[in-house]
Amino acid sequence: MITVIRGARIVTQDASRRIIEGDVVVKDERIISAGPVFKGSADTEIDASGDIVMPGLINTHTHVAMSVMKGMADDLRFPDFLDRVFAIDRDRTDNDIAIGTKLGCAEMIRSGTTTFVDLYYSEDVIAKATEEAGIRGILCWCVLDEQFTTQKGNPLDNCRRFCGSHKKMRKSRPGVGLQGVYVCSEDTCKGAKRLSDELKVPLHFHLSETRSEVNEHKRKTGRRPAEWLNDIGVLSERSIAAHSAWLTMNEVRTMGKTGMSIASCPVSNMKLATGGVAPIPELTENSVNVSLGTDGSTTNNSLDMFSEMKILGLLQKSSRWDASVTNAQTLLDIATVNGAGAIGMGKDLGSIEPGKYADIIILDGKAPNLRPLLPENTISNIVYSANALNVKTVICQGDIVMKDRKIKTLNERKVIDASEGVQRVLRGNI
């Protein structure tokens, strides 16, 4: 099965960050050629002349099933926000989680995201819906102390069972989640880390999102969360720490030594007004791999990674009074190659190169907001001028999941209509 994308401006994101004109050829699940004009015959031909062809974006922190909760917890101070979300979230059914997941996947497909890292319970339900949508979830079942959870049974056992039964998904992969040090004892954290090592899957957790979370942990243990997690042996190259907004330089250096990644969530941090700003330049200088997440739909309220890239840059520049930090290329790297590295898939994802999975998106080069479009401003236009809905075609692991803005995998209308009823029920909880 051969698919060829013809006449494209290809933003490869390869090691030399080349932008080349030519064809991309996909055989089954993988890219076999990028650049040279393809003279063979293909099963599917896509004309991308004048368009931008680039790697699918990688969202490394979200809670996809919360997409049905848009606009239910806005403009609230943090304690009020938490009360509201816990009230909404405590009593969900498999059906509404499936609808939320499909709605979120439809949003992600339309906005050019082909891989997302999820942190939630009921990841079995989320896995089924995600596979149906045709994109890739790194699905991290949330582990926390039993006294804090609404999960039935022991969360670590639930996670182990999910990972065991979901080893063989076609695109998605299981992972281990940890809610955060505020609801996870040392034993719980160590248990999750052991499981992640045993299965060789990512360990994804919230870290230092709010100042009070940091202060309370320090009062309890004498150490800040990142230091404490390092001391008990939880941090490794498999760790992805969402937020990481309240860090000291000592924590940054400690984190760098472990080979771990963070998932910065600037929109969520700004909207919740949690005050902290992830120190992206220092993290990068100290070898922490920086990736990017939208967080869930109660805090953002969007899964739009184009907007997230731009806002990450705006927040870094403005908070540091330095317009030169996190330039356009750095921001695009964060949303592509760094995301692939965070989930341990650097060899398979993040760029358009022969041998990699065909996770490719095509942006409409005829859109006025992307023009003028020259080689010199292509990266800048993607990061600072593009709009997520400039994405017209999406390929994930060789499958065309959206073509010319029509989603091929889901009955989008049915999902959207069902989402309304779900939110009405959830509103009954508040």
**Cα separation, 399 vs 402, whole angstroms:** 9
The interface region with a copy of itself, picked from 41-49, 147-155, 166-174, 369-377 by CB under 8 A, is 369-377
Decide: is 309 part of the binding site for a copy of itself (CB under 8 A).
Answer: no
Decide: is 63 part of the binding site for a copy of itself (CB under 8 A).
Answer: no
**Cα separation, 294 vs 386, whole angstroms:** 17
- Which of 19, 317, 346, 403 binds a copy of itself (CB under 8 A)? It is 317
Nearer to a copy of itself, 172 or 274 (CB): 274
- The residue among 146, 147, 173, 143 whose CA lies nearest residue 158 is 143
Coil vs helix vs strand at 7: strand
CB of 216 to a copy of itself, least distance (A): 18
- The residue among 170, 135, 174, 171 whose CA lies nearest residue 57 is 135
Coil vs helix vs strand at 137: strand
Q: Is 244 left (phi over 0), alpha (psi -120 to 50) or beta?
A: left
The interface region with a copy of itself, picked from 8-16, 334-342, 355-363, 409-417 by CB under 8 A, is 409-417
- Which of 26, 97, 255, 388 binds a copy of itself (CB under 8 A)? It is 388
Q: Write down the residue that tokens 């990142």 correspond to.
A: 226
Decide: is 110 part of the binding site for a copy of itself (CB under 8 A).
Answer: yes
Our separate counts of H helices and E strands in the chain read: 15, 17
Decide: is 269 part of the binding site for a copy of itself (CB under 8 A).
Answer: yes
Nearer to a copy of itself, 163 or 418 (CB): 418
Decide: is 412 part of the binding site for a copy of itself (CB under 8 A).
Answer: yes
Decide: is 98 part of the binding site for a copy of itself (CB under 8 A).
Answer: no
Q: Write down the residue that tokens 């540091």 correspond to.
A: 320
How many residues bind to a copy of itself according to rule CB under 8 A?
Answer: 74
Q: Which amino acid is at 188?
A: T
The interface region with a copy of itself, picked from 33-41, 175-183, 267-275, 394-402 by CB under 8 A, is 267-275
Nearer to a copy of itself, 336 or 390 (CB): 390
Coil vs helix vs strand at 153: coil
The interface region with a copy of itself, picked from 4-12, 52-60, 136-144, 308-316 by CB under 8 A, is 308-316
Nearer to a copy of itself, 155 or 293 (CB): 293
The interface region with a copy of itself, picked from 23-31, 181-189, 257-265, 309-317 by CB under 8 A, is 309-317
Contacting residues for 374 by C-beta, under 8 A, at least 6 apart: none
CB of 24 to a copy of itself, least distance (A): 23
Q: Which amino acid is at 289?
A: N
Rounded to whole angstroms, what are the CA distances from 298 to 99, 115, 268, 332, 396?
Answer: 16, 20, 9, 25, 27
The interface region with a copy of itself, picked from 33-41, 71-79, 164-172, 180-188 by CB under 8 A, is 71-79
- Which of 76, 82, 87, 232 binds a copy of itself (CB under 8 A)? It is 76
Q: Please give the full DSSP string across 261-314, using - where no structure is assigned.
A: EEEE-HHHHHHTT------HHHHHHTTPEEEE----TTTSS---HHHHHHHHHH
Nearer to a copy of itself, 86 or 220 (CB): 86
Decide: is 372 part of the binding site for a copy of itself (CB under 8 A).
Answer: yes
Where in 117-176 is the site for a copy of itself (CB under 8 A)?
none
Nearer to a copy of itself, 193 or 392 (CB): 392
Buried b or exposed e, range 25-48, using 16+ CB within 10 angstroms: bbbebbbebbbeebeeebeeebeb
**Cα separation, 348 vs 355, whole angstroms:** 7
- The residue among 407, 404, 408, 397 whose CA lies nearest residue 55 is 397
Nearer to a copy of itself, 39 or 413 (CB): 413
Decide: is 343 part of the binding site for a copy of itself (CB under 8 A).
Answer: no
CB of 317 to a copy of itself, least distance (A): 4
Nearer to a copy of itself, 243 or 310 (CB): 310
Decide: is 87 part of the binding site for a copy of itself (CB under 8 A).
Answer: no
Decide: is 422 part of the binding site for a copy of itself (CB under 8 A).
Answer: yes
